[in-house]
Structure 1
Amino acid sequence: MPSPERAPSDDAFAYAIWRVVPSVERGEAVNVGVVVFCRRRRFLKALVQVDEQRLRALAPDLDVAAVAQHLDGLVRVADGDPSAGAIATMDQSDRFGFLTATSSTIVQASPIHTGFCDDPEATLQRLFRRLVA
């Protein structure tokens, strides 16, 4: 997690956790990804990991392949991959807004959290290990 003290080399960043919520009525979720945005460093990247066994424990009939495909599309949007559609060609700030928008679909983003870091890639890796992997 980000250090509570800010070093002079640190820049603000924001992140959200992606969760799979197979049944909105039950409210159960599995963390499957993290997306990090650091405007000053021009950094927007996401990592995902689908734990099929955990998802099947919550929803035996869930189409895990479709969920994984959807998450892959979100990662490609974060990367700015033009094959992911028009949203992927927008600027990073707009893409982050899209990737963290409130949704009632099976894949949902957490509220946005903020912090300071000097290495957004290392921060992404740390958050991913702690919150998803």
Structure 2
Amino acid sequence: MSERYSVVTTGQVGIERDRAVFEYALLRVVPCLERGECVNVGVIVYSQERAFLTARWDLDVDRLRALDPNVDVTGVRRALEAVEKMCRGGDEAGQAASERPGPRFRWLTAPRSTIVQAGPVHGGLTVDPETEVERLLDRLVR
């Protein structure tokens, strides 16, 4: 948790909690596991302090087909939609429906050898996790 100290009118030091710790991981599509080439397609953002977990993606099919002209684009979209559902939780999350956001984030970011993979987890501070999602998409994906 990030805390910023500020002087309040009583002359005492107060704590202003305007920024929250967040973690994120890139979502990558690796169309041919043997070659290891990938395209960044989305992000997963988690903030325990804000009880926030979401995934967003922006699939550039032309970039993906440049790596593998035979890639199963429909399958990739379904996998990305499944990540979104897991982040939302509830009945859509399947067996993880009753899990808190933290364990769902850890499960989604665990290393795996599938066509859609999460990259390493990074951290930061943000005032608004929702805005952070768009910033990361613009900077790292689009």
- Structure of higher RCO (CA pairs closer than 8 Å, 6+ residues apart): 1
Equivalent pairs counted in the alignment come to 129
Aligned partner of 1:61 in structure 2 is 70
Q: In the superposition, relative to structure 1, how do residues 123 and 6 fare at CA in structure 2: closer, same or farther (>3 Å)?
A: farther
Structure 2: gaps spanning 5 or more residues: 5-16
TM-score (norm 2): 0.85
Taking only the aligned residue pairs, the percentage that are identical comes to 45
2:99 is the counterpart of 1:90: yes
Residue number in structure 2 paired with 1:35 = 44
Pairing partner for 1:106 from 111, 115, 119: 115
* Distance across 2 between alignment mates of 1:81 and 1:132: 28
Q: SS in structure 2 opposite 1:44?
A: strand
Distance of 1:81 and 1:17 partners within structure 2: 23
Structure with the greater alpha carbon radius of gyration: 2
Give the TM-score of the pair, scaled to structure 1: 0.90
Instruction: State the one-letter code of the partner of 1:43.
Output: F
Q: Which runs of 4+ in 1 moved over 6 A?
A: none
Aligned AA for 2:77? A
- Give CA deviations for 1:25-47 in whole Å, capped at 9, x if unaligned: 22210001100000011110110
Q: CA RMSD in A?
A: 1.6
Q: Which residue of 2 aligns with 1:25?
A: 34
Q: Which runs of 5+ in 1 are unaligned?
A: none
In 1, Cα distance between the equivalents of 2:72 and 2:18? 44
Question: 1:60-84 CA deviation, whole Å, 9 max, x = no partner?
Answer: 1111101101110111110114123
- What's the CA shift for 1:12? 0.8
Distance 2:125 2:49 in 1: 11
SS across alignment from 2:23: strand
